[in-house]
Every structure is written in C-alpha cells, then in structure tokens.
Structure 1
Amino acid sequence: MEIPADKLLSGFLLTRQAFDTQQGICLSYWLKTEQGPANVLVTQQSTVFFVEATLQQQVTQYLNDHAISYEKITPLALKTFNQQSVCAIYFRSMRDYYRAKEILASYRIKCYEDDFRPEDRFLMERFVTAHCQFNVSEQAIMAENTSSHAAPRIYAQQCRPIPKTQIDSGFLLDMVSLDIECSMQGELYSIGLYSHALNGKSLTQVLMIGDNSNTKSKLPLIERQQIAPCIRWLEDEKALLVALIDWFKQHDPDVVIGWNVVQFDFNVLQKRCDLYQLLFSIGRDGKAPRWRKNNNSGQQYIDIAGRVVLDGIDLLKTATYNFPSFSLDYVATELLARGKKVEDVDNRVQEITDNFHHDKLALAAYNLEDCRLVTQIFEKTQLLEFAMLRAQLTGLTLDRIGGSVAAFTNLYLPKLHRAGYVAPNLGDGLKGLVSPGGYVMDSIPGLYQNVLVLDFKSLYPSIIRSFNIDPMGMIEGLKAPEDAIEGFDGAYFSRDKHFLPQIIKDLWQERDKAKQENNAALSQAIKIIMNSFYGVLGSTGCRFFDPRLSGSITKRGHQLLKQTQVWIEAKGYRVIYGDTDSIFVHVGNDKSAEQSRALGASLAEFINSQWQQKLEAEFHIKSELEIEFETHFSQFFMPTIRGLDVGTKKRYAGLVRENGDTQIIFKGLESVRTDWTELAKTFQRSLYLKVFNQEPVKEYVMQVVQDTYDGKLDDLLVYRKRIRKRLSEYVKNVPPHIKAARAADAINQQQGKPLKFQGKGWIEYYLTTAGPQAKGYVTAPLDYQLYIDKQIATVADAILPFINESFTAIVDQQQSLF
C-alpha cells in the first residue's frame, strides 16, 4: 500500500478495537481506502471518566489505597446537570480504568460517562462517524515496510471527519454472501460463497466435502454444467475449514452477509474449528474472531478484525421492514418473487442430507441459490447502502443492531462537552412523572364517503424544532424560566442554548435533498434516526431520559390535534378520528374527487397558517409544524368494537381511487393481521370492495359459506403462529398452536422421525373436529362450522350492519333454500 504524499489517509471505518500496551492504550481502526484495507493504530492514548470536583480528595485516597494506577486527575471547566463542577480522571490502561470504576462504585462515588470505550470516544469527540481522515505519522512508512500483514499497520495521531463535499457517494464495500449446509448435529457438508463484484470480479464458489467421481444428478444438464465448475472438492471437514480460512485470505472481503449468519453460520463454523483445534483465523490481522454475548437475550455478536458481518434479518428489521415471517424463503418470495431451491422448505434438512449423500450437485445448487437470494435481497432493499449511510450519519458501527440511544449520544455528547456540561448517568432524570403516548381520538363509527386524511409531517421532530426541546436546553431554561419557552410538567426550554433542534434541522435538510435525488436508502436512514429521537428521550435506557422532555413532546402533540380538530369543525366539517399525527375529516357525500382533494389542500394550508400565527402570538417562536393533505378516501369504514356501539381505534378500511387505480387500504383489520387465515383475509377484501362499490353482497356471502362447507377453500384455512419458547415451557396457558405442535411431535416420535417443533419457530395448523392439528399431521376432518363462526361471521358482522344486512339472516336464508 502506498502512503499518500500529503500523509492524510482517507477511508471508511470498518471495525474498531482498543487494547492495553506498556506505552498506554492503543486504538486499532480498520479502514477501507482507495488503496485497499489498512489498519490504523493510534498509540499512547488514555481513557477518562469524571467525578464531582468536591470528591477529588476522597477519590484520590481511594484509588491510592487500592493501588490503582491513574495518569492524572484534572479539574475541568465542565459541570453536571446539577451545576456541580467536575474533574477528569485519566487512565493509561483499560484494566486500571475498569478496576477504578468498581472501587469507586463500592464507595458510592458517582462516576460520569464511565461507560464509553476509548476507541468510540476518540472518534465521537472529533465528530468522526464513518468516512474519516487520519494524519499519518512518519512511523507509517516504516510500518508498511516491516509489516508481514497483507494490509499494513499504519500509525497515526489525529483523526477528522471527511468533508461532505469530498465523500464519494458511490463508494461501496466489497461484499460476499456466505451460507453453510450441515447436518442436524452441525457436521458441515458445504459452504457457499457468492458475490457480484468482489474486488471487481464476480465470484461463485461452493466448498464441498467429497469428490467429483459421482456427478449423477437430478438437475437439468445445463444447470449441472453451470454448477460443476463452481465446486471445489475437499477431502473432509477439516480440509473444508482450512479451505475457507484460505479463501478469506485470498479474496479478502470487507463485508460478509447472510441469513441468521452470526447466530447460525459463523457459530457453527467456530464450533467446528474448535473441534479440530483449528485457529479460525479469518480476520485481516490473521487472528480468530472475538465473540460477545448478551446475557439477557442470549444474542451473540462477532468481531472480525477488518471485516463486518451483516445479518439480513437484523438489518431488514433495523430498516423497519416488517414481514409475517423473516425466513429466507418467505422474504425472498415477497421481495424477489422466488424462494429457496428446495422441494419441501419445512423438511429441507432431510433433503439437504439426502443430497449430500446422493446428489452433491443439487446440494451445491441449493447452497449457491441461498447465497444469491441473500445478495439480491440486499441489492433490492439497498441494505448495504442503508447500513453505510446510517453509520455515516450516527457513528454507529456497520453491524450495530438497533442503537437509537447510542446514535443520539454520539451526535449529542461532543456538542454538550463544548457547551460546558458532562452527560448525566442513567436514572438521573426526574422521577415520579409519566409522559403519555400519542393522542388517539375516540372514533365515530360508520360508512362514509369522502374522508380526507391530514397528516403532520414528522410531528415529534417538528415539535422539538418548534419548541426547542433539548436536554441541555431544559437545564438552561430552568435557570431563567421567565425568558424561556414553557413546556409541560414544569419544563422550560432555552431559546438559544440547545443542540437537538439544529441536529434535527440538519437531518431534515439532508432528507429533503435525498428525496430530490431519489436516494431511498439515505432518506430511510435519516427518517429512522429523526423519528427515534422522541423514543430515546422517553426511554429509561437513555442517560438523557427525563419525563419532562418526552412529556413536552407528546402532550404538545395532544394539544395540536385537539386544537386542529376545533379549527376544522369550526369550518363545518366533521372530524371522525385522529391518531398521534393524523386527523380524519368527513367533508360530505356531495363532493367530487377533485373537489375533495382541492379541499384537502386548502385545509392543510389554513391549518399551517393558523399554527404559525398561534405560536408566534403565544410563544414568540417560529412554527416548524407542517400538516399535509395525505389521502382522499372515496369510501371509508370505521368499525365498532365487537359487541359494542363504540368506535374502535387504530382499525379502519378505505377505498382510494387515484390516477385510474383503485386500492383498498386496511389498518388493524383481519386483512393485515398475521394471526388470521387467508380465508378471512380474502373474504374481507372482497366483501369490503363490494360494499364500497355498493354491489349486492348476499350471494357472495352465501357462496363463500357453501364453498367452505364443501371443502373447496381448504388451502385458505391454515393458521400460522410463532412458537416463542420451548414447548415444555408452556404450562398454565396452552394455546391452540402449541397443542398442534405437541401432537405433531408426538407423531414424529412414534414414527422415529426428528422432532420439529420443540424450539422456537413457526407452525402452520388447522382447526379440526379433534382440535388443532399441524399441517402435514391432520388426521381428523376440518371443523368447517368453527371456521365459519370464528372467521367468516366475525368479518361479515363488522360491516354488514352498516348496510342493514346481517350474516345470520343471510345464512338462515341460505339454509332455508336447501
């Protein structure tokens, strides 16, 4: 690797670590640069936490009594939120740092900001997120020439963020998809590796135990000819593992992707290496991964020097995708319109084992197809781009799951320090108050024509911007409430000393720019970050939590919706529902679609003008609130709570006609619920469409009932539910799907087959005259009457009374005909 002439090494941060040396703490950062990967070392560093200055003498005495080495204790021009001055305690080793924390905690000495790792603080205090520049020292040239590593160790002292104008928006990391196939006991069969462009080249390879002496296969000839050259044959499992380790050294990917890839694939690979006493040396430093485990959830994490592992399931959830099932087969079918290359997904382990022994080409094809599916899901949803942008915006590592609190802290803390404060600790916020959730109005049930939905754009971020809601801003506001903006529950916010409103404004502008450039990944990343800030301030897991902060957001939201309702109804229109940031307005049955949409735009303009005037008059602030006309429902249905005349909340359906297209939107009803059968969903969609179009419904209802009795709809009667814990743990309350799972595994046990349902997972089952029975294990007739009573009747009775019909009357009429 050639060191840049200006000695500024620029790149994208992949992994980070800190470790003790005799000269102090060494910070190790792996970057991907234009010249290739590089390991940057920042040596002779210290780590720090803070204590109140009045305790300095005691702290010094305690540390000396326990022979804990520290570099220095220095009074600082910083203070706590309680206005207490602090001093900083610096340590040259992490071992002493952690021991000091424990000792001081035993004396009930509060240490501030004692939970930051030095490799994270070094970046955060310099406003470095992902794209960064290091000042390379003179030692770097020597390091490059003497290092035996493929990627050089480069020494640096300072680091800074790369200016936005210099960031290559098209920069991507080299990514490979990895998937293993193995027996139920974890014995490896093969490892698939796939990439569209790894180091500029496409790659398709399967490492397979066995040889090519028997290439008979059920695959078509052309597919056999395509698969065979991709296979590298290995003698045994140990040789397979060695080949994988060599593959990593040769191809050197930045990112490894997969499906449950950490908890399953890498976990199995590590265990098999341990079995053979092999060093799983796949890191760019030639070392094995470091494993961490969350003791509460059991979740495992893997750190590979210079490489990032991204799990498709975790990343989709982080990007707010939601599927009834996150199995690869289900997600691929939904996003790519094709699933796994296997005849029976539910019994794929048996098929995999059979193919390993009798048709290795078919196994290789299956293995590679799983790799391809994951790659194409990443490409379809721009998951790698999303992860990189999220890292750049927040400073979170690429593989960080969740992390809203950490993202907020990374952005906020360095600004807080420069304003003269240290951050509070968990639990320092005001006790005894509870901030409410979003405001949900009582609905007015009924069938309507011309319902408009007006939606406050990013309501909570807009409230934060308008009213200057900010942790430090509240501390400063309480010092001079007469000059501050009043919040709720005794909160006041400074008009000029705050950071969060500007952070949100900057993100908002970046999102608007991303939308203009059609950058969906960036727009989504920014939206998630912005919308998380309220949740962070309302979370007891955040050091800045204070119910006065979150309450000043949600209670202001309540006030906004209630006042907006007053203004709309004063104009003669009826508000039939409202939820958090949306308000539903019935504007009358006499309007055309064009008139309704024009009215929606007019109402939005009127409400925005009203809020601008009101906030200026009452608070002397500029309104950042913006309500938008979002949807015109030509037909709309708000149901009642079952068995009552009271309207429901968060449940409705409506018909939208726009640009020649017709779409029914369901919210909270059976059609979008994963715990209802396809029979209920299909029936509801068709029935509601007929009602909205004012078509006769009796004949359709009778036909569905009769088809159900006749067994014509059996494929729609499957329930699908998640088993969330081991079957043995269900004791007092045993729901139907657990009964089905236990009965199915009892049959498996009798027949000497593997037990399928003992752990967590999904089960599909039917309701039969003998109770719930799993799909594939049905021995009794389906209970059609139960399906009709619990599924069809329930759906029908929600809407039929609003057109003066009754499911019971329709069915009784049908029965009288026979």
Structure 2
Amino acid sequence: MFVEKSGYIVSRHTKEVNGRIEMSLFIKTPEGTVKVVPDKQHSVFFTDAAPDSFPTGLSGVSVSSTHFKSFENHPVTLIQSQSLTIHQQMVKLAKANGHSVFEEDVKPHNRYLMERNIRGAVRFIGIPDTSQQTFQQARLIVGDYLPNWLIWSLDIETSVTHNKLLSIGVTSNDLRVCLIVSEQHIESDEIHCFATEKEMLLAFIAFVKKHSPDIFIGWNLISFDLHFIDKRCQVLGIRPAFGHHGESWNIRASENQGRYFISIPGRVALDGITLLKVGGYHFESYSLNNVSKEILDDGKLLHGGERWQEIERLHQEDLQAFVAYNLQDCDLVLRIFEKLQLIELQQTRVDLTGIPFEQPGGSVASFENLYIPRLHKAGWVAPAWRDEEFVASPGGFVMSSIPGLYKNVLVFDFKSLYPSIIRTFYVDPLARVTATINESGNASGVNPMVPGFLGAQFNRHMAILPELIRELAEAREGAKKDDNSILSYAIKIIMNSFYGVLGSNVCRFYHAELASSITMRGHELLARAKGWLEESGTKVIYGDTDSLFVTLDDTHSDPLKTGEELCQKINKCLVDWCRDYANLESHLELEFECVYERFFMPTIRGQEEGSKKRYAGRSNGQLVFKGLEAARSDWTPFARQFQRTLFEKVFNDENPVAFIQGTIDKLRLGEYDDQLIYSKQLSRPLDSYTKNKPPHVRAAALVDQKRAESGLPLEFNKGRKRVYYLYQISGVIPYETAEDLVNLDYEHYIEKQLQPIAESILPFFGVSMDSLLSQQISLL
C-alpha cells in the first residue's frame, strides 16, 4: 500500500546490486530520515549512432530514437540500461564504432532529480517496509518541506607520538559529549572513558546510530577528522557504519591527493573552511583559532605549532582540561556556523540549483543542473566532452592608472557586469551553435544574430542563459526587498559563477568564444564608459574589470550630486548604444558606488608607470587599502600598521616625515619586535621546492629538520600550511615562541618593510628615503 510523505533530500546514491542499478535517496521527514528507492531505475546516455547500429535483443538495454539533436545538429539515440556495468559497456561500444556519446557521466540519481526539477524539498509516495524506514517503488515531485536539522560539531584529538585517536568530541545545541581513551574511569554526562581505541570507536558508531544526526560540521573535517577516523577503523578492522541504517560511509581522495570527499548515506559532512571560501569570506589564516578570534572574539584554549605536546600531556595528567580543550574546538565551529549562517547558505544553494547537500563548491554542477533540463526542453542534448587545447579567455579589463594623490575621486561599478553581458548580448552555448547552423528564421524582421567575439554569433531566439539570469535577477531583487540576505547572496554567487564555468575546460559547455564574448565585451563597455565620462569633462584615472575611478576638478562643489548625474547619463548612453548596435535591450547598469575624499594611486615600484589593482583611499572617514601592503598577509604586522598610520596622516594633510623618522628610531630600539613576524602559506609540499627556496620555505625546512632529528612527524611535508618566520642578524629562522625575538636584523626590516612603503609617498613631500636614512646615520 502506497504512503505519501514530505521531506528534504539529505543524500543520494547509486550502486550496482545483483547486476541491477539501485538508486536510493535518504530523505529527512517529520518522523525521521527514511530511505526512498524511486521507480524507473535505469541509467541514460545519448549517442549520434543510429538505433540500428546496435545489436538487437540486448538484455537490460533499451535503444530508441529521439527528437533530440546534438550540438553538431545530428539526431541522437537514447540508450537506457538497467545496470551500471551494461551502461559502461554500451558507452564503450558506441565509442569503439567511432560515435560520440553525450551525458554519459550524469549519475542516475542526479538525472532523476534534475529531470523532475527536484532540488531539496520533495513529496513522495512509496510502499514502506515493515519498519517504515524504506520506501520502494517511490515517485517524487517537488515539495516545500522545511527541515529542522540536527547538527553535530565534531572534533577529534590524536596522539602525534603514537598516531592514534585520543578522543572524539561532539557538541550541538543540546549535547556536549567527549568520548575518550583513558585508563581513568570518569563517567559523567559529558565524559565517556574507554579502555581502548577500538572500544571508543565502536561506542561512537552506536552513539551516532542512537541519536542520528543529520549534519556533521567541523574544521578541516573531512580531510583530517573523518579521514583519520576512517584510517583507524581500517587498522582496527571496524566497518565505518556511520550512515543511516548503519550503512558504511565512503571516503575518496581527490586526484592531487590534497583533499578528501565523503559520502555518508542519510547524513552530510560540511567543512567550515570550505564553506567560508565558497561564501566569499577571506582571512589571513583559515586556522580555527584565527577565524574564531575574528568572527567571535574567542579562540582555542591551546594554539601554536607545538600544542600537540601539551595535548598529550593533558591527556595523561589533566583529563578535565583535555576534554575542555576538545569541546571548546567543537563549540567554536558551531558558533561560527551559526553566526555566519553557513548551513542556511548551503541549503539555499541546494534549493536554487539542486546540487547535492554535501557538495559545497560545485559551480559546474550548479550550472549543468540548471541548464541541461532547459536544453532538453528545447530539443537538444549537452555536448560531448572534447579533447582539445584549452584557450584561456582574456581577463577582466584593467587600464593603466594615472598615479597621484587626489581629492574627490568617484567610483562607478557595473552591477553584475558579466551576468548582465550574458543577458544583454545573448551569450549562451545553444545560441552559439544554432547561430552557426542558422537554426532560427527571421520572422520578426530583426536580425536574430548578435555579434560576439573571436568570430562568435549568438542566436537571440535560441538562448537559454539570458532567461535563466532574468529569473535569478528578479528572485534576487525580491530577496533584497524581503531582507533575505542569505538568498540574495546565494543567487549572486550562482550568477557570477556562470562566466567562470563557460571559461573552464572542466565544463562540457566550455568554448573559447563564450568566455571571450563576455570578457572582451566587458573591455569594450568599460572603454566606452570611460569615453563618455571624459566627454562629460571628468578624468578617468583607473579602471578595473567592472569599475571606473574618476577625478573631479575644483569646479564640482558637490561630488555626490555630480556622481549621481554622471551615473544617469552613462546608463542612458548604454541604452542608446545597445539599441543602435544590434537592436538590443540593455540590462547593463552602472552604479555610483562612493566618493573617496582622499585617494592615492601609486606607481609600479621603481618606475614612473601607474600601478594596477593597488590603491588607498578614505571614504566617509574609513581607510580602504586594495593590493597595498596594509591589505597583504605576507607583510609583517609592523609594515601593515605603519602604512595605515602613514596614510591617516597624509590624508589629514600632515607631513609624514617626522612620523617616518620616529618609526625608524623606535624600530631600532626594539619597540616593534613582536610585530616583525612574517606569515606566508606553503602552496605545495615542502620537498617539491627544489630550485628556488624562498624565506618561508627555508624556515619550514628548519622546523621539519628539527622534528626529524627528534623522531617526530614532519609538519610541512604535505604543504598548504602557514609558516611563521623572522629575520635575525644570522638570517631567516622559524618563529615558534617569544624567545625567538632576539638579535633581530632591524636593517632588514627597514629596507624590506618600511622603506618601500615610505618611498611611495615621500616624493609628494619633496623628500627621499635615502636622505632620511642618511640623516639617521649622521645622528647615530
């Protein structure tokens, strides 16, 4: 008997069972998470081979003609298979006979949901088993269920010395538990002790099954915590039955072995670092201690490169303090997720695009989920993967700047420039190929072809993306009116990702003409806007991607009013130009962003030519630094604060010479010693630096050499780790404790940190850094 329920998809899976496909969806319902097995279990792909080119009577295979066409304008055949093995065999057969295959890599569960426009919330009917936990022969449609997630923040502590688990901490809004391997027998609601690591892991599996969390969150959760648990399960012969119904999870490594991905039936694992980056947050360091200090004004109870020694000591000598440290890390992650609404952001992306909940990135998957169903509706299949040379599109427009110290600089930005270009100029994969084959007629009397770049044309009657962007843009405006910042931001991320997807050869829709028709149109539009602004009597001193910086002369007494008037004029010019260019409706919009009361555009260091992507300004009393040392994490805190103070004085019309001289004196007296520590990220494993070894690499090598001599695991052998170092008179050394702040090479910091910053501004005051330093030497 069929039963109807509402819910939200937690995870989706396809596997081979007894020679047949088993597709399963784990769906959270008001009564709990259930396993739903849809009907129509088959895999699908298309090929340009004719139906009669395949053997007849193949078991488990359906071959049929379709009304769909390929991007080469050829009819395609639909191949449906009941087995993943047969699916792969049929793909190989088509390719072996010289035919192209299309959409062969789309997973059955993703296709099933995509074709039904199902993303997160669903309604389904199915036949339940006696436990009411599994529903067979299910049919699903779009729903509106809003889940109340049970979220666990998870963190483990390990023994570096023995490479074993010491504890597993979990916190949620109503739970605080630490499972710990210890000979002590402290039993409380918060602490559960176990004699062996294996006993602890088995207890944790049972604990997960009992409480059934929906989402695990953590810091470097998958690549460290869950991966470490998985390795220990393998060593101890334990099946990692952390899924719903006790199903095993599956962890796999990325191709470069730097990251790991996990699939947990009925549960989701989300890493805080990854979600922050997807959400557009930027930090000097993504360590939990640094992020929690910036976001929460709180931090870890222990931190620093050698904290593992203190962790092992606490585990042996002070179990209460050890547990407090473990659970504090869980609490920090939970609070960061709650404050930044990271779960809500991820769920909103799922609701908008249908990507799997556990996939925090997925720009290509988001695009294909939105585009392919519309493509099918238009009668086409997605293009085959092409083995061709990648041609990078030109980057964003960046004009040479006019260096100087300015007053009243206006900044104009194109609102969502690249999505607006796609919408206005019909930049679209299907529009490009149908323009080539002249698929559409000219019944309206308007030329259907819109010029692109690199020889591209776009058929305005066959474009999918412009309509998709219109829907998203209208939804974003509605979200703004409703003050729904999460929805508005999620839509912005999606729209802005379309250009990158079309210009990336990891997307099947990639073509050089697509991305270039976006970026090169951007170049043209900024150049035209620059011309229109200068025709209005202003001077454009800089332009970058979607922004223009304009300086006014003294005749403009009200910069704000002038900015608004110029903005209206340029938008009118854009409307007129688009109409005259190709009878297009302009969706381009220039916005007046702000006025910098004071503004500084530097030269390229050591040259007279103006710099790019580097400036400083003051707007409404706030200092803004772009690309300069004050905004760069690889410069010392001393240099960054020096630059901020320097420009506070310059923008207040103070002569900075005395301040610079005083800073040099204080530096040599040791007053800034604790601000002289460099910080730089290793971009790859330490042993891959063979020829050029910059200072942070040399410092990291010294740390690992010392650890190897002590028989300890290496710290930098996997790369992607931040190195802290400083310069003593003897040279570069790693910074580990305050005891390293001795014999510092102050002349190095003057030459490499203070002098480049001061030299950028001193010429405006008729002074050179050489003359200042020579005065200092004479005084000494």
Q: TM (normalized to structure 1)?
A: 0.90
Unaligned stretches of 5+ in structure 1? Answer: 197-201, 216-227
Q: Which residue of structure 1 aligns with residue 415 of structure 2?
A: 457
Q: Which residue of structure 1 aligns with residue 157 of structure 2?
A: 181
Contact 2:503-2:515 at 8 Å conserved across structures: yes
Contact 1:770-1:780 at 8 Å conserved across structures: no
Deviations 1:199-255 (A, max 9, x none): xxx11111122365689xxxxxxxxxxxx6411222322221121011111111100
**Aligned-pair CA distance for 1:296:** 3.1
Q: Which residue of structure 2 aligns with residue 117 of structure 1?
A: 107
Q: Which residue of structure 2 aligns with residue 470 of structure 1?
A: 428
Q: Which residue of structure 2 aligns with residue 225 of structure 1?
A: none
**Aligned-pair CA distance for 1:433:** 6.1
Q: Which residue of structure 1 aligns with residue 701 of structure 2?
A: 742
1:446 to 375, 400, 404: 404
- 1:553 equivalenced with 2:518 (yes/no): yes
Q: Which residue of structure 2 aligns with residue 20 of structure 1?
A: 16
Q: Which residue of structure 2 aligns with residue 218 of structure 1?
A: none
Aligned-residue Cα RMSD (Å) equals: 2.2
- 1:126 equivalenced with 2:116 (yes/no): yes
**Aligned-pair CA distance for 1:23:** 8.7
Tell me, in whole angstroms, the C-alpha distance in 1 between the residues paired with 2:710 and 2:213: 46
Tell me, in whole angstroms, the C-alpha distance in 2 between the residues paired with 1:496 and 1:462: 18
Amino acid aligned to 2:614: R
Contact 1:25-1:43 at 8 Å conserved across structures: no
Q: Which residue of structure 1 aligns with residue 66 of structure 2?
A: 76
Q: Which residue of structure 2 aligns with residue 674 of structure 1?
A: 633
Pairs within 5 Å for 1:99-118: 99-118=89-108
Tell me, in whole angstroms, the C-alpha distance in 1 between the residues paired with 2:767 and 2:137: 78
Range that drifts further, 616-625 or 777-786? 777-786
How many residue pairs are counted as aligned between the two chains?
769
Q: Which residue of structure 2 aligns with residue 614 of structure 1?
A: 577
Contact 2:499-2:518 at 8 Å conserved across structures: yes
**Aligned-pair CA distance for 1:502:** 1.3
- 1:636 equivalenced with 2:599 (yes/no): yes
- 1:656 equivalenced with 2:619 (yes/no): yes
1:488 to 421, 441, 453: 453
Pairs within 5 Å for 1:280-429: 280-342=240-302, 344-427=303-386
- 1:271 equivalenced with 2:231 (yes/no): yes
Pairs within 5 Å for 1:514-663: 514-589=479-554, 591-592=556-557, 595-657=558-620, 662-663=621-622
Range that drifts further, 151-160 or 239-248? 151-160
DSSP-derived class of the 1:496 partner: helix
Q: Which residue of structure 1 aligns with residue 676 of structure 2?
A: 717
Tell me, in whole angstroms, the C-alpha distance in 1 between the residues paired with 2:262 and 2:448: 51
**Aligned-pair CA distance for 1:754:** 5.8
Deviations 1:690-733 (A, max 9, x none): 11111121111011101111111111111111233333332211
**Aligned-pair CA distance for 1:749:** 4.9
Tell me, in whole angstroms, the C-alpha distance in 1 between the residues paired with 2:17 and 2:710: 60
Contact 2:19-2:83 at 8 Å conserved across structures: no
2:25 to 29, 35, 58: 29
Tell me, in whole angstroms, the C-alpha distance in 2 between the residues paired with 1:363 and 1:644: 56
Distance 1:99-1:291 versus aligned 2 partners, 3 A rule: farther
Tell me, in whole angstroms, the C-alpha distance in 2 between the residues paired with 1:618 and 1:744: 62
**Aligned-pair CA distance for 1:191:** 1.1
Distance 1:509-1:117 versus aligned 2 partners, 3 A rule: same
DSSP-derived class of the 2:603 partner: coil
Amino acid aligned to 1:40: V
Deviations 1:69-106 (A, max 9, x none): 44221010011111100111111111111122234334
Contact 2:39-2:139 at 8 Å conserved across structures: no
Pairs within 5 Å for 1:45-194: 45-54=41-50, 56-60=51-55, 69-134=59-124, 136-137=125-126, 139-140=127-128, 143=129, 146-147=130-131, 152-162=133-143, 166=144, 168=146, 171-184=147-160, 185-194=162-171
Q: TM (normalized to structure 2)?
A: 0.94
Contact 1:308-1:398 at 8 Å conserved across structures: yes
Contact 2:118-2:354 at 8 Å conserved across structures: yes
Amino acid aligned to 1:783: D
Deviations 1:382-425 (A, max 9, x none): 11001101111111111214211111111000111111111102
DSSP-derived class of the 2:245 partner: coil
**Aligned-pair CA distance for 1:614:** 1.7
Contact 1:48-1:91 at 8 Å conserved across structures: yes
Contact 2:270-2:360 at 8 Å conserved across structures: no
**Aligned-pair CA distance for 1:52:** 1.0
- 1:512 equivalenced with 2:477 (yes/no): yes
Pairs within 5 Å for 1:181-220: 181-184=157-160, 185-196=162-173, 202-210=174-182
Amino acid aligned to 2:396: G
Distance 1:731-1:612 versus aligned 2 partners, 3 A rule: same
Deviations 1:106-144 (A, max 9, x none): 44432111111111100111111111222x13x33xx1x
Tell me, in whole angstroms, the C-alpha distance in 2 between the residues paired with 1:71 and 1:588: 75
DSSP-derived class of the 1:408 partner: helix
Deviations 1:563-607 (A, max 9, x none): 111111111100000111101000124545xx1111111111111
Q: Which residue of structure 2 aligns with residue 223 of structure 1?
A: none
Identity %: 40
**Aligned-pair CA distance for 1:172:** 3.7
Tell me, in whole angstroms, the C-alpha distance in 1 between the residues paired with 2:134 and 2:707: 56
Tell me, in whole angstroms, the C-alpha distance in 2 between the residues paired with 1:612 and 1:489: 24
Tell me, in whole angstroms, the C-alpha distance in 2 between the residues paired with 1:415 and 1:244: 45
Tell me, in whole angstroms, the C-alpha distance in 2 between the residues paired with 1:46 and 1:668: 53
Contact 2:122-2:145 at 8 Å conserved across structures: no
